Structure 1
Amino acid sequence: MTFRKSLDSVLVIGCAAVAIAFFYGSSSSSAPVAATAPAVPVRVGTVEQRPVPVLLRALGNVRSQRSVEIRTQVDGVLVELSVKEGQLVRRGDLLARIDDRSIVAAVEQAKAQAAVTEAQLVSARLDLRRYQSLAKTHAISTQTLDQQRALVAQLEATLRTHQASVAASQVQLSHTQIRAPSDGRVGIHNVHEGNFLRASDAQGLFSLVQLDPISVEVSLPQGLLPQLQALQPGSESDPVTLQAYSRDGGLLLGEGLLGLIDNRVSTQTGTIRIKGDFANPDGRLWPDQSVTVSLPVQTLPDALVVPQRALRQGVNQVLVWRVVDGSAAPQAVQVLHRDNEIAVVSGLAAGDIVVVDGHSRLRPGSVVRTLDDAQEPEPAMAARREF
């Protein structure tokens, strides 16, 4: 009887186990299959193959090709300033005038003294001719003739002295009218009408600075000298174009040509200066202004170019996310050159598709969905975007 009860218990427990297994098996088979991960929205770019100029950016200074401090060369009262501050003038224009009355009087005095000496010389020459005629008949002594010759020579020398004095006084008179030595822009006036000026004054009247054309000077490391020599004017290469910006990545102020490489390297800084000439009709480049200069030092032929935003920094390498058949995979690359917009790399092929925006949600093998430039990324993607 006891054995019968034990057998019945075993049968009950076995049936219960079979029922539980059947129930859970039926539940798992009827549950829906987990959905596939959604495609990651990204923006992509294409790898291009083209020549890329390697640009060197350096800080430079704008230099006027003609900068003149206008000073007086004679003493006198400043009676007229003919130009205004900031005025553009042409070569030869009247800038200022100094009281010339005393110098005019000196010129007239020198002319009068020259006229007196010239009249004396005319009389002495007539006497010399008479003495020469008389000397032929021995009517006068040789000594008298020699004395007359000496008097004529003396008066000729005196006349030349007075004529030189007249010329010097006229030069001084010309200095009372100060004219522009070149085209340029007038600076701030340091003196005004009515001031007494001296040639020894340390301060000038104002400065005159040429604005067009204008130059930009840049100091570069001497290690670049071989490349610069290949670019200098007169070499076989085409003229090199320089760009001047207000700052790195700032407003373009002008374009010019490489004009000169300095004749020596600075021993103090180990740099060499170069100078570019810029047309500056609008005055956007200003003397002594600091600018950022972009100089092409070489060209990389058949370079593989990707957008700068496509690069991602890995643990020990730089990589890009390459899109193949709708899926993204990391691809290690070597960066040969880069700037603010593009990067030259190796490890890719022309025509490859790379991700430029939306990297943060990518995993190896992730399915991607390409967005147009006009489309906005999803909020979740935007919150985790990497730049």
Structure 2
Amino acid sequence: MNHQTQNPLSSNIPPSRSQNYRDTEQLLDKNIPSEYQETPKTSNKKEQNTNIKKLWWLLPVFGLLLILGGVTVIRLRDNDQPVTVTETVPLSVRVATANREPLRAWISSEGTIRAVDYQHLTFDVEGDVTYLGNQDGRRLREGDRVTKGQLLARIDDRELTADVTQAQAAITEAQQNKAAAIADVAQARAQVAQARSQVQEAQAQQQNAQAARRLAATSLERYRTLVEEGAIAEIEFDERQNTLEDAQAGVQSAQAVVQSAQQQVEAAQAQVQAAQQQVEAQNSAITTAQARLSQAEVALEGASIYAPFDGIIAYLNISEGEYFSPQIVTSQLGGDYQGILERIPMVIIDPSQYEVFVDLAGPTGEQVEAGQNAVIASETKVNAAASSQQTLISNARARGEVFAVNPAISPGGRAIEARIRLNPSTTETLRHGEQVLTWIAVSENPNAVTVPINAIVRRDRIPYVFVVNEDDGMVEQREVELGITGITQQGIINGVTPGELVVTEGQNRLVDGAAVEVINQGG
């Protein structure tokens, strides 16, 4: 009786797979050498033992074949089971509608509000405050209105007043000395004139004496001839000789008088020069006294504070009896402006016009030009003001426009200073020295296509948006060309049309053609 070896897994093999398994067994039987195939039991026991020893290495081979067969059966059985298809779950996104609306590009910077007309009022000298202005029967206060020329405060000025009085007295004395010197000049000039007149008289007498001498000399020569001729007596000749000698003496005397008169002229001229020098000295004394008076008057003025124009007291940091020194203010120069406002005695402003001074970083400041619109929001409303362009404008505390832009960049801050002149009708709640946040509209598109800024995604530095197709719930990734950037909205030049839905949240998980589920829809 022949025995067939049956695979224990064959009973579990489906009928459709049994033929495949039998083919595998037949293939294995063909590959086994004939000497290793089963032999009939009619062989003797010794031969059987020998054959078993020869076939021991086949056991691992059969084990491997069994394992391969089991794996094959399992795979075939798995292949008969139906395949389950997993459906893709749509991604949840938030969207907004692209709109067509006016759009402005804004830049912001902190600034300081100042009145267009304001003045820091301080004392130029140190001392005790002895007077603080009265207003309606009480001491002056912040917020009080004052008029131009009104005395607001004074420091003890008794020494300064004495200095002014002393300088005035010095001027009076110098002026009196000058008058005396001028009189001396006049008197000396009169003496010069008198001496010159005497010179002229002496010169006339000298000329008469010289004429008499010439006449006497001529007469003497004539009488000499007569004497020699015996026509006259010698005594007459001697008389004529005496006359000539007298005439010669008269000439000498006249010359002496002339010299004396000339010396008197020179002396009188010297007196004139001395008197003129005295006048010049007194002029110099007057100038010096006037300079001292001016210094004393300036110092006296520096001890008092007067209102330079009609306005309001914005800051008042002094009181009667308090000691003040200018160093209190100068020590704060170059520091915080608020620190100056807290130390200076007074600040008066004209509240009818305000402006804002802002420092803009170099690249940002280059976009600012005179005439651009600007709005002001206090720092406490920054978040609310920045929620949208419409909110920024509607919540603005004040509005105005850029008045001037400094063409130079500050060496220390590397910033450009701009001045914004505010509309007086919108500045009721502003205060001089207040810190505010300033927004300047540097460009504008009145007919822009806009999407929320957070709808823009950048991949490889290229801007895209995901546009939702409402018919099939799929998104399309579109490259866009960007326009100006507003506070919360981005202008689109190409790539999106008004009315389309763009994804604003969840787009980082999206790819072109992805299915989405819109969980909100806003404009």
Short-chain TM bin: 0.5 to 0.7
State the Cα distance separating 1:289 from its structure 2 match.
1.0
Residue 265 and residue 357 in structure 1: after superposition, are their counterparts in 2 closer, same or farther (change >3 A)?
closer
Once residues 218 and 196 of structure 1 are traced to their aligned partners in structure 2, the CA distance between those partners, rounded to angstroms, is: 37
Which residue is 1:80 aligned to?
A: 131
Residue 270 and residue 108 in structure 1: after superposition, are their counterparts in 2 closer, same or farther (change >3 A)?
closer
SS at match of 1:284: coil
Per-residue Cα deviation, 1:73-131 (whole angstroms, up to 9, x for no partner)? 13443112223134455654433122333333332333233223323322332232122
Which residue is 1:304 aligned to?
A: 449
SS at match of 1:348: coil
Once residues 115 and 196 of structure 1 are traced to their aligned partners in structure 2, the CA distance between those partners, rounded to angstroms, is: 35
TM-score under structure 1 normalisation?
Answer: 0.64
Which residue is 2:495 aligned to?
A: 347
State the Cα distance separating 1:262 from its structure 2 match.
3.1
Amino acid at match of 2:402: L
State the Cα distance separating 1:319 from its structure 2 match.
2.0
State the Cα distance separating 1:72 from its structure 2 match.
1.5
Residue 338 and residue 72 in structure 1: after superposition, are their counterparts in 2 closer, same or farther (change >3 A)?
closer
Amino acid at match of 1:80: Y
Which residue is 1:206 aligned to?
A: 345
Match 2:406 to one of 236, 239, 262: 262
CA contact (8 A) 1:118 1:159 kept: yes
Which residue is 1:193 aligned to?
A: 320
Moved more, 174-183 or 261-270: 261-270
1:88-103 maps to which residues of 2 (within 5 A)? Answer: 89=146, 92-103=149-160
Percent identity of paired positions between Structure 1 and Structure 2: 16
Residue 319 and residue 185 in structure 1: after superposition, are their counterparts in 2 closer, same or farther (change >3 A)?
farther
- Is residue 282 of structure 1 aligned with residue 417 of structure 2? no
Amino acid at match of 1:112: A
Per-residue Cα deviation, 1:292-324 (whole angstroms, up to 9, x for no partner)? x32222234753235x39949799952233557
Once residues 458 and 325 of structure 2 are traced to their aligned partners in structure 1, the CA distance between those partners, rounded to angstroms, is: 72
Which residue is 1:319 aligned to?
A: 466
SS at match of 2:407: coil
CA contact (8 A) 2:329 2:344 kept: no
Structure number having the greater strand percentage: 1
- Is residue 215 of structure 1 aligned with residue 356 of structure 2? yes
Structure number having the greater helix percentage: 2
Which residue is 2:49 aligned to?
A: none
CA contact (8 A) 2:357 2:417 kept: no
Which residue is 1:25 aligned to?
A: none
Amino acid at match of 2:449: L
TM-score under structure 2 normalisation?
Answer: 0.49
- Is residue 175 of structure 1 aligned with residue 175 of structure 2? no
- Is residue 152 of structure 1 aligned with residue 279 of structure 2? yes
Amino acid at match of 1:263: P
- Is residue 244 of structure 1 aligned with residue 244 of structure 2? no
Moved more, 127-136 or 144-153: 144-153
Which residue is 2:166 aligned to?
A: 109
Once residues 329 and 385 of structure 1 are traced to their aligned partners in structure 2, the CA distance between those partners, rounded to angstroms, is: 16
Per-residue Cα deviation, 1:12-40 (whole angstroms, up to 9, x for no partner)? xxxxxxxxxxxxxxxxxxxxxxxxxxxxx
Which residue is 1:125 aligned to?
A: 182
Once residues 95 and 295 of structure 1 are traced to their aligned partners in structure 2, the CA distance between those partners, rounded to angstroms, is: 39
Once residues 310 and 168 of structure 1 are traced to their aligned partners in structure 2, the CA distance between those partners, rounded to angstroms, is: 68
Once residues 283 and 338 of structure 1 are traced to their aligned partners in structure 2, the CA distance between those partners, rounded to angstroms, is: 30
Amino acid at match of 1:73: D
Gaps of 5+ in 2: 1-93, 134-139, 196-263, 331-342, 386-394, 507-513
- Is residue 70 of structure 1 aligned with residue 70 of structure 2? no
Amino acid at match of 1:98: I
Once residues 104 and 224 of structure 1 are traced to their aligned partners in structure 2, the CA distance between those partners, rounded to angstroms, is: 52
Which residue is 1:294 aligned to?
A: 439
Once residues 192 and 124 of structure 2 are traced to their aligned partners in structure 1, the CA distance between those partners, rounded to angstroms, is: 54
State the Cα distance separating 1:217 from its structure 2 match.
0.2
Match 1:57 to one of 94, 97, 107: 107
Per-residue Cα deviation, 1:215-251 (whole angstroms, up to 9, x for no partner)? 13042342763x44xxx23xxxxx2111122314424
Residue 150 and residue 220 in structure 1: after superposition, are their counterparts in 2 closer, same or farther (change >3 A)?
closer
CA contact (8 A) 1:310 1:320 kept: no
Once residues 310 and 147 of structure 1 are traced to their aligned partners in structure 2, the CA distance between those partners, rounded to angstroms, is: 96
Which residue is 1:13 aligned to?
A: none
Once residues 168 and 267 of structure 1 are traced to their aligned partners in structure 2, the CA distance between those partners, rounded to angstroms, is: 37
Amino acid at match of 1:118: Q
| RMSD, matched Cα | 4.2
CA contact (8 A) 2:144 2:313 kept: yes
Once residues 96 and 111 of structure 2 are traced to their aligned partners in structure 1, the CA distance between those partners, rounded to angstroms, is: 40
1:11-30 maps to which residues of 2 (within 5 A)? Answer: none
Gaps of 5+ in 1: 1-41, 234-238, 367-380
Once residues 280 and 414 of structure 2 are traced to their aligned partners in structure 1, the CA distance between those partners, rounded to angstroms, is: 64
SS at match of 2:180: helix
Amino acid at match of 1:59: S
